[in-house]
Structure 1
Amino acid sequence: MNEPVKTVPISGRISQQDYDFMMQHSFGGKVTASEKLRHVASFFRQYHEHFGSYAEGIEELNRLSEPARKNIKHLEYEQGVHSELVDAAANLFPLGVAYLASRQQRPAKKDQLPYLLETEERLLALVLRLLEQVLRLGLTTQAPAYNPHLLEDKLGTITELVGLLSKRDHS
């Protein structure tokens, strides 16, 4: 059986702009200003309590970016286009941000260098995943992007750098 949640009466003033915003949104069927204020406070508390884990961070970032992704998908459908570059970036960026957000606890002095090394390695892995996906987009003469010629003049420096790395490794 769920015990009733203890409540505490508060009193305060908010700006007209914040009040109007709060009253325009349903917040899961909440109607009164008191219900909505309780919901906002609860949401804010849960947001801060749960954003510390990597998986929950990804979930929250995906939730926040979902309206933009839906809008992009809708526009892609209307325009008859698709961009694998946009998909790759939209899928990988939240992973990096969630990883960083999950690393809020400062490690003990003896664990600081391993902490930094692990952070660097994990972020590099994400950067390399994105780089690999971008390079795959450049394999064909027409990239699977809104602008099929998007990568034509932009991969020259990367190709040169990879060539220099290859020469160095063979020396």
Structure 2
Amino acid sequence: MKSVTMSVRVPEDDAAFIAGLDVPGAVTPSDKLRAIIAEARLRQEGSGDFRRALALSEQLLRPARQRLRDVEHRLQVHSDLVAAVEDWLPEALATAMTGPIHHDATGADDDDSQSLLDLEREFADRVFGLLEAVLRLGVTRQCRCYDPKTIARRLEPIMELARVIETMRDSDEK
């Protein structure tokens, strides 16, 4: 692909921001600007490439995750719940970013129905995976969370829903 030279004036604070920006594989301001453009293009156009979407999701969340790790380290605390959600979130976001390709109003595709079914299955797998991980935290009355009773306090409504679902399914089978 042919490169085009561009000259851009930016305020000093933006230049300092770009210089201090941590972009994997990018060292120079030009490298970083190309990475920023690639990221913006991926967000704008979407991508069927899960790996690229996952890398972008992780990159978007990296500063917040690092600040959280710094605070946890300083306070000597950890939350398995927060960690589980943080691990889940980039994959869920990447799944949304790589979902079915949207066609214009006249470009309906026979594959769209299957794409939607696949997307729904992927989201169900991810959501129920997170749900299972969170429920595992409720095995003991106190979990490794900032507040050890965080999960225990919220389990009863979930268990009640599960009992209602089980009762309904039992009656449907009869």
Q: TM-score, normalised by structure 1?
A: 0.78
**Which residue does 2:136 correspond to in 1?**
136
**Which residue does 1:22 correspond to in 2?**
14
Range moving further from structure 2, 52-61 or 42-51 = 42-51
Gaps of 5+ in 1: 31-35
CA distance in 2 between partners of 1:109 and 1:6 (Å): 34
* Shift of residue 20, structure 1, vs aligned partner: 2.3
Q: Residues 23, 145 of structure 1: CA spacing in aligned structure 2 closer, same or farther, 3 A cutoff?
A: same
* SS of match in other structure, 1:103: coil
Q: Are 1:43 and 2:23 matched, yes or no?
A: no
* Shift of residue 21, structure 1, vs aligned partner: 3.0
* Shift of residue 11, structure 1, vs aligned partner: 5.8
Residue-by-residue CA offset, 1:90-134 (whole Å, 9 max, x unaligned): 011111110111126226421222111111111011110111111
Q: Which amino acid aligns with 1:115?
A: S
**Which residue does 1:55 correspond to in 2?**
51
Which runs of structure 2 are paired with 1:83-122 in the superposition (5 Å)? 83-103=79-99, 105-106=101-102, 108-122=108-122
Alpha carbons 2:100, 2:112 under 8 Å: kept: no
* Shift of residue 7, structure 1, vs aligned partner: 4.6
Q: Which amino acid aligns with 1:62?
A: E
CA distance in 1 between partners of 2:5 and 2:69 (Å): 45
CA distance in 1 between partners of 2:130 and 2:59 (Å): 21
* Structure number with larger C-alpha Rg: 1
**Which residue does 1:153 correspond to in 2?**
153
Residue-by-residue CA offset, 1:117-154 (whole Å, 9 max, x unaligned): 11111101111011111111112111211011112331
The runs of 4+ residues in structure 1 deviating greater than 6 Å are none
* Shift of residue 6, structure 1, vs aligned partner: 5.1
Q: Residues 129, 6 of structure 1: CA spacing in aligned structure 2 closer, same or farther, 3 A cutoff?
A: closer
Gaps of 5+ in 2: none
Alpha carbons 2:100, 2:119 under 8 Å: kept: no
Q: Which amino acid aligns with 1:55?
A: R
**Which residue does 2:73 correspond to in 1?**
77
CA distance in 1 between partners of 2:143 and 2:68 (Å): 18
